[in-house]
Structure 1
């Protein structure tokens, strides 16, 4: 399997190079040159597999022969041994709604599904090929802690995570800043998630700096993140369909950076019988507006909401979708992105918009609606939704055959839960005692210069002055 850039400026690379590159050197995102097609017989065979067995089958065509199958199996087994539920991502039912629980990993968020795997993959590739890696990522809440837990204490890896100061939940902040391993560096930037994400992209686009400091990516710009998340769409379908390829399932996906819903789109392109992918957004509804109008237009500000992981204007993985929407026309992608950079807006042709509407539904959900959904689901079933999951359940409405992705444990957002039902959700063991632990974090201005300087000083000190 070879990987190309959405902007057409690199020669094809293999899976391991794609993982280590993160963001393509031309500024684009890496995508597979071809999408493997899964036939109905294979779907039936996969439908009854354990999660780990299914992950091996889904990932193998994208990995090719670069990692021996036995080694890939070992990586997968090690990655999901850290999950507290034997099914890894079980499907449960609450008030007549099917919920795909993605929060049984070590940080109680869906990001663990990909980042436990990616951390082990990085470690394996570095041990095999030598060298070191300095991971730089931005988080709106859950990616940071999941990435940190995926690589904490690992040799050859340093990790720097940027989060917007005061714009993540208190528990999310403590999950990151209480990890005191020597290879973990938390940076609170005085700005929004979009500011942090733009800084990270700028560092990766500074090719001499990226090369000199051996930067690697854990955000969903890294293809391995998308690949790992694709697995649970196949898993949920298998648990619901009984292996019948005629049984189509829809998914409601709380969406900020477009990575999770793009993984569903990839699964559908592979042949998974998905009916509708429902993009569920909060007040920051740029993706919902795009689906409805064909215009992707940046608003005046990023609003703080009860679902902070979705408080995003510029969705990184949207570029991957644009690439497939335009049938791999990289010149057109470059032109659209130039429009977005210059004007804060890009617009697609009506025939393309019709394709978008065939791929996705989209619903924006307000904070009052989010609280009402948490309240209603709890009253009817006793089940507590996190605010992001509540956005997805609300967006699904009364549609039949929908699986709603539960992206985080509700105890990570107990302010919203208490506002909705009058009490907190009980914390799982991984979240207990965080507020009493020692913290370590540097606070920086939200500028490329400030972050670059911090990396240079820190990595220079670690290397004894020779980064």
Structure 2
């Protein structure tokens, strides 16, 4: 399987796409030929998560042998990386709604499902490409990607990672996770700005001849751990397929039954992976894009207009505080029927005016498969309270956004099938929101708040968070957006000096 750019006829191998992340023309890589309707329940019944992942990824990473893929998957998904042998356990709230828990990895977020595997894919791709330079992973995060990427790549030989996050745009626990990150090859920096600022800067770095020439001279190659990289995106398809198989295995739906999916959505990678799973054969009916007050995506699926000319809000669901969803470009490629000139024009319009629009015919086709809606912070906390008090189930604010949107659709009779909410993070990553939602006393110390929540819910503090309390802060710097380039070049110099030592 080769991969092509969304903006031109540039075509590369899977190993090249894994290694470089972004296409040379600034586009994103997509499969040259997408494997449609290749999966059946009969072939996947009763298989483990690892076996399902191996099947799914065999269609995309054909540059690796079956044994190589199996070895990488075994190293990524085991009892030292996930606390549940099912990897993605299901929890049924009632006969009509199932929660797919994607947060049982090392950093308690759905990003672990891809970022536990991605370092193995990248290391193998580097070997295939005979690349001798050190890799510098540059990553922007709105909360969970940063920690998951840092944990995945810490102390991996020949690889370094630098993460930027908005100083006031992540939860206190997410900040603790990143500021206290261990590893000799990692660096974390907060910025006075939002996630879009960080992500836009990194895209400019990847396409800057000046910055890349400097890094090359120092023996460093830039890559990415954001879902713009195929090594992040396609492993996510596996958990949608695994969810389908488990629903049937457990008798929740029949072999030929359609089910709907609600996804809390920010950068569009998670819901795009669900759509790819549907294209491969999973019987997913409607994909519902759940947003917070930064509802640019929910509005798009109602109007066909993607308009970033609006206020940016810092919300209780920070991983969704995004106006420029980078994976949306991949989606537009398929909306345009593979017309790269049209995609390039749309992206130019977004860059120059902050706005683009699909045709009425294209919107009608999209609305046959996608819907969008949103709820605000007060509604989010009300959902957390309601679900805990009525069902004894505690959810994080992103999952609560998805659940709230589900409730609105359900009341209106717009979900005729069994529905799955993709739960993206452990609730304990968001102690202030939990205390507000459950009417518990707040504190400046997130661990004190979690102790209070634990007393009420009888949910123990997960070990990865408990271990944080005694660890020292390593990365406390906050810089202006304009200083990000110098910060990257400074780390390049550090890597180069380390190579010479």
Alignment TM class, shorter chain as reference? over 0.9
Is residue 299–residue 313 contact of structure 1 (8 Å, CA) maintained in 2? no
1:424 aligned onto 2:453: yes
Query: Residues 241-390 of structure 1: matches in 2 within 5 Å?
Result: 241-242=248-249, 244-390=254-400
| Number of residues of Structure 1 aligned to a counterpart in Structure 2 | 462
- CA apart distance, 1:444: 1.6
State which drifts further: 106-115 or 357-366. Answer: 357-366
Tell me the equivalent position of 1:225. 232
Counterparts of residues 112-151 of structure 1 (less than 5 Å): 112-127=112-127, 129-131=130-132, 132-151=134-153
Alpha-carbon distance, 1:192 to partner: 0.6
**How far did residue 435 of structure 1 move?**
4.0
2:242 maps to what in 1? 235
Give the unaligned 5+ runs of structure 2: 441-451, 455-459
Asked if the contact 1:373/1:390 (under 8 Å) is kept, the reply is yes
- For residues 142 and 37 of structure 2, what CA distance do their matches in structure 1 show? 34
Q: How far did residue 361 of structure 1 move? A: 1.0
Give a deviation string over 1:387-431, Cα, whole Å, max 9, x none: 000111111122341000110000001111111123525421111
What's the offset of the Cα at 1:121? Answer: 1.8
Task: Tell me what 1:102 maps to.
Answer: 102
Shift, 1:347, TM fit: 0.9
Cα pair 2:299 2:306 within 8 Å, conserved? yes
1:445 aligned residue (463, 468, 480): 480
Alpha carbons 1:262, 1:321 under 8 Å: kept:
yes
- Cα distance in 2 for residues equivalent to 1:92 and 1:72: 29
TM-score, structure 1 normalization: 0.95
Tell me how far apart the structure 2 counterparts of residues 307 and 292 of structure 1 sit (CA, whole Å).
22
Q: Distance in 1 between matches of 2:138 and 2:245?
A: 36
Contact 2:122 2:231 in 1 (8 A): no
| Match of residue 67 from structure 1 | 64
Is the contact made by 1:133 and 1:216 (CA closer than 8 Å) also made in structure 2? yes
Q: How does 1:157-176 map to 2 (within 5 A)?
A: 157-176=159-178
Distance 2:495 2:342 in 1: 43
State the superposition RMSD in angstroms: 1.7
Pairwise CA distance, 1:55? 0.2
Tell me the SS of whatever aligns to 2:103.
coil
Kindly state the Cα deviation for residue 253 of structure 1 after the two structures are TM-superposed: 0.2
Residue 127 of structure 1, CA deviation: 4.8
Return 5+ residue gaps in structure 1 as ranges.
Answer: none
Alpha-carbon displacement from aligned partner over 1:206-259 (angstroms, at most 9, x marks no partner): 145236230001001001211111001111111113495421111100000000
Q: Distance in 2 between matches of 1:308 and 1:235?
A: 27
Alpha-carbon distance in structure 1 between the residues aligned to 2:359 and 2:181? 48
Question: Partner residue of 1:48?
Answer: 46
CA distance in 2, matches of 1:299, 1:95: 40
Greater Cα shift, 161-170 or 237-246: 237-246
Contact 2:52/2:242, CA 8 A, preserved across alignment? yes
Contact 1:460 1:466 in 2 (8 A): no
Residues in 2 aligned to 1:444 and 1:281: alpha-carbon distance in whole angstroms = 29
| CA–CA separation in structure 2 for the residues paired with 1:35 and 1:273 | 17
TM-score (norm 2): 0.89
Q: CA deviation at 1:453?
A: 1.6
Q: Report how far residue 346 of structure 1 moved.
A: 0.6
Which residue of structure 2 aligns with residue 35 of structure 1? 34
Distance between the aligned counterparts of 1:461 and 1:56, measured in 2? Answer: 37
Q: Secondary structure at the match of 2:324?
A: coil
1:180–1:439: 8 Å Cα contact kept in structure 2? no
Judged with a 3 Å threshold, the aligned counterparts in structure 2 of structure 1 residues 144 and 50 are, in CA distance, closer, same or farther, namely same
